[in-house]
Amino acid sequence: MVEVWHAVRGSAHDPALFGVRVAESAGDVVVRLRSASVVRGGATLLADIDWEVRGGEHWVVLGPNGAGKTTLLKLLSTQWHPTTGEVEVLGERMGAVDVFELRPRIGFSSAALADRLPAGERVRDVVLTASYGTIGRWREQYDEADFARAHAVLARLGVGHLRDRRYGSLSEGERKRVQLARALMSDPELLLLDEPAAGLDLGGREDLLAQLAHLLQSPTAPATVLVTHHVEEIPRGITHGLLLRAGRIVARGPLTEVLTAANLSVTFARDLVVEAHDGRFFARSI
Ligand SMILES: Nc1ncnc2c1ncn2[C@@H]1O[C@H](COP(=O)(O)OP(=O)(O)OP(=O)(O)O)[C@@H](O)[C@H]1O
């Protein structure tokens, strides 16, 4: 099925590539969950979550396999509604808003979405189609501003030279950057990244983390929620942390206060130590 979302036009004419809308929302509540729970097939995937993300904040959501991280992103990306409680995204309450109006304001990247990108599609079109929320070019109309923006976003992520290549011919590291470019195409007010560095080798991971840090440290970066299993994959520029275990919050708040040995040990149910060095984090068993 081709999902047609509304195109976001005009961004390429704006002086800044990102954050044209974000600048007005710094400090505003971008995401609010109130006692939000998700129950599927009798299992509680998320239990009673209270959480807020504000403009200008960049969160990492950290937790072991099955903690509920992807479920949380499904709520924020409007794919799922909470079973009980409330979820508000960009000022709109789930259940009371047309999600197709809301989705172009949210940039989203995940392995599940990446798996659906056609291998034969040109890189430029992989990025371009995000402005309609479609996968695969079909009959959508694009104008020069759309092409210019897709090229500019790819160039900003250092993969502008790949724009005419087939997506399937790219290395994993190149694909991850193209996925990030796609997520940024519509100048989102909220950026959701599910394990953006998964599957990369050490060099590819470090390159991607540097790109992410560059983006996040820009004053015009959108509010961001990045999910990962690994503290080593937290880029510089992340400001806050949410630790999840078995669908419940273990800790939340400013990153350096949350990423303690005690909190991580509870989250991953083992004795861990964590070290911070130059804005990056490293954890290991005792
Ligand atoms: N549709 C569903 N029905 C029932 N259980 C589900 C459903 N989707 C996910 N789950 C379960 O919910 C729990 C949380 O899953 P989720 O994918 O959110 O975890 P996660 O923290 O992202 O895990 P991982 O790090 O392994 O990706 C898991 O135990 C999973 O098996």
Question: Which three-class secondary structure string do you get for 223-244?
Answer: EEEEEECCHHHCCCCCCEEEEE
State how far the Cα of 226 lies from the Cα of 246, in Å rounded to an integer.
18
Residue 91 half-sphere exposure, CB side, CA atoms within 13 Å? 7
Ligand 1 centre to CA of 187 (Å) is 29
- DSSP 8-state code for residue 119: T
198 C-alpha to ligand 1 centroid (Å): 17
- Closest residue by Cα to atom 27, ligand 1, is 65
Average pLDDT taken over every residue of the chain? 88
CA of 68 to the centre of ligand 1 (A): 6
Looking at the domain 24-94+191-285, which fold is it? Rossmann fold (3.40.50)
pTM: 0.90
**Domain(s) of CATH 3.40.50.300: residues in the chain:** 24-94+191-285
Which residue has the CA at smallest separation from atom 2 of ligand 1? 40
Question: Quick one: tokens of 254?
Answer: 């400013």
Q: What is the ipTM of this complex?
A: 0.95
Amino acid at 208: L
Ligand 1 proximal residues by C-beta, below 6 Å: 40-41, 43, 45, 63, 65-71, 229
Q: What is the mean pLDDT of residues 188-208?
A: 92
67-89: per-residue pLDDT in tens?
999 999 999 999 999 999 999 99
Q: Looking at residue 36, what is its pLDDT?
A: 97
CA of 11 to the centre of ligand 1 (A): 36
Angle CA 80–85–87, to nearest 5: 50
Which residue matches tokens 């129950």?
39
In angstroms, rounded to a whole number, what is the distance separating the alpha carbons of residues 274 and 156?
Answer: 33
Closest residue to atom 5 of ligand 1, CA basis: 40
- Contacts of residue 267, Cβ cutoff 8 Å, sequence gap at least 6: 62, 63, 64, 67, 243, 244, 245, 250, 251
Largest CA distance in the chain: 57
Instruction: Write the pLDDT tens digit of every residue in 215-251.
Output: 999 988 999 999 999 999 999 999 999 999 999 999 9
pLDDT of the residue at 2: 31
Check: CB of residue 127 under 8 Å from CB of residue 154: yes
Summarised one tens digit per residue, pLDDT across range 158-170 is 899 999 999 999 9
